[in-house]
Structure 1
Amino acid sequence: WLQTEMTHQELTKALAQQWHELSVTAKQVYYNLFNNDKIRYENEMKIFAANSNKESANKTID
């Protein structure tokens, strides 16, 4: 079905249907990927925020 020309709405509907047809076990793979990526993002943001605060503290006001 991906080879046919579909509107964005039709594509979204088809993908949603496929998602709803997946078993809980099959969906778990994607939930695990999401959770791992969420943890990675949160850790990276903590590092970024800490580095940003250090840079701000090191800047002098002219």
Structure 2
Amino acid sequence: MAAVRITAPIAVTGKVAGVPFVNGVAEVNADDYRLALAYFRRHSGYRVESAGKPTRPAESPRSRQRS
């Protein structure tokens, strides 16, 4: 599981395209948020980069749905 860091063009706190941001930054699992990552890559102002560490399974939307 590859962790990805997304930086928004403004310091938003809340969900954008289903991804939870805090102060304009989100870290998610790339496999679980493929469509959202494509959205951020298409829209200017968002920066998508490797976070360099694995995410916890609890951050995955798939994990939350199973609960």
TM-score bracket for the superposition, by shorter chain length = under 0.3
TM-score, normalization: structure 1? 0.27
Which structure has the higher relative contact order (CA within 8 Å, separation 6+)? 2
CA radius of gyration, larger in: 1
TM-score, normalization: structure 2? 0.25
Q: Whose strand fraction is larger, Structure 1's or Structure 2's?
A: 2
Q: Whose helix fraction is larger, Structure 1's or Structure 2's?
A: 1
